[in-house]
Structure 1
């Protein structure tokens, strides 16, 4: 039950970040919705295992940020520098929204985390707020629109592929030595998606 609750509310939360980032930078989020959902689900499985099996919750946000950067770079085909900027903006914005709700509804982070249901409610309210803001931005044509190709690095596809392989190798080694076999497979699946789209990008 705990795993199902975590997966559901984390997916709602993480997907709201994707929707916000796509909206604020004037991309149509439905064009990549299935790829994003698959990657987000895999990322949340990994996050659950990192928190509950390895007890290293601080690694989960870092891996989520990495996965978003690779998602925007390989699937949406945004230059890696802009992918990093967009991801950080989206993550920080969501964190600000959640911080406001923590202050007004719970008074402290400890109280917000005191029960699973407090945490789920916080995730849900924060995500719904971000969805609504994203809808307003996209509906009224608000946000940013840049010629992102100007920041595309020379031989960027080689750099991105190298980073994906290096990150996958480092994470897999850590999990391998901690005998978290299932998560090794989920990470492999996630990064296989990125490698596929990174290579496909150069052949279309």
Structure 2
């Protein structure tokens, strides 16, 4: 039964992150949904093994992010740089939502750190919130619509690539230490930084036209 609840709640969670990424690209969540569900199932299986069999819970988020990047690069055909950027933005936004719920509803991070009722409740309410947010984003056209193929890989993009790699490494460290205030500060700053970069890129693309 524990495996069922873990997989079910994790599926809601990864579906919410996928939906956020799609909304950032201004794509419908239903597009590529079957391919996405298969990838999410794989991501959740590896997460279960890492958390419950190998005691490497802090590595699971990093691998999930990489799996999403591969999904958007290989299946949805978004250039890898932008797949990574929007995946990280969506993941950071979701982590920020979840951290707020931890602060509001639970006494400590440790209370929801291991699989159980509290952890599953947190995943469900965070996932539902993120899904609602992604629906609103798509409904009101909140996202990025620049032409990926027209963007050139310049020095600024090299810096962004290094930054993405750094963020991926820091995400693992943050989840390893799991301090709630560090989470809030890190995720808020990272989310703001990536959003600023994406807005600048879209404006530049519009001006080039």
Cross-structure match for 1:107? 107
Cross-structure match for 1:76? 76
Correspondence list, 1:15-54, <5 A: 15-54=15-54
**Residue pair 1:112, 1:118 contacting (<8 A) in 2 also:** yes
Q: Which moved more, 1:52-61 or 1:95-104?
A: 52-61
Q: Cα deviations across residues 150-187 of structure 1 (Å, max 9, x unaligned)? A: 3476xxxxxxxxxxxxxxxxxxxxxxxxxxxxxxxxxx
Equivalent-residue separation in structure 1 for 2:21 and 2:139 (angstroms) = 14
Pick closer, same or farther for the CA change 1:115–1:87 going to 2, 3 Å: closer
Equivalent-residue separation in structure 2 for 1:99 and 1:130 (angstroms) = 13
Equivalent-residue separation in structure 2 for 1:151 and 1:52 (angstroms) = 42
Q: Cα deviations across residues 82-128 of structure 1 (Å, max 9, x unaligned)? A: 00101100100000000000000003211233660000000000000
Equivalent-residue separation in structure 2 for 1:115 and 1:145 (angstroms) = 38
| Offset of residue 42 of structure 1 | 1.1
| Offset of residue 2 of structure 1 | 0.9
Correspondence list, 1:1-204, <5 A: 1-113=1-113, 116-151=116-151
**Dislocated runs of 4+, deviation >3 Å:** none
Equivalent-residue separation in structure 2 for 1:39 and 1:105 (angstroms) = 31
Q: Which moved more, 1:109-118 or 1:22-31?
A: 109-118
| Offset of residue 49 of structure 1 | 0.8
SS of 1:144's partner is coil
The TM-score with structure 1 as length reference comes to 0.72
Q: Cα deviations across residues 119-149 of structure 1 (Å, max 9, x unaligned)? A: 0000000000011111111112222211111
Equivalent-residue separation in structure 1 for 2:47 and 2:89 (angstroms) = 21
Equivalent-residue separation in structure 1 for 2:72 and 2:152 (angstroms) = 13
For structure 1, the residue ranges without an aligned partner over 5 or more in a row are: 154-204
Equivalent-residue separation in structure 2 for 1:11 and 1:115 (angstroms) = 14
Equivalent-residue separation in structure 1 for 2:114 and 2:44 (angstroms) = 21
| Offset of residue 59 of structure 1 | 1.4
**Residue pair 1:82, 1:151 contacting (<8 A) in 2 also:** no
Equivalent-residue separation in structure 2 for 1:31 and 1:114 (angstroms) = 33
User: What number of residue pairs does the alignment pair up?
Assistant: 153
Pick closer, same or farther for the CA change 1:53–1:151 going to 2, 3 Å: farther
Equivalent-residue separation in structure 2 for 1:150 and 1:67 (angstroms) = 25
Cross-structure match for 1:184? none
Equivalent-residue separation in structure 1 for 2:65 and 2:142 (angstroms) = 24
Pick closer, same or farther for the CA change 1:93–1:72 going to 2, 3 Å: same
The TM-score with structure 2 as length reference comes to 0.70
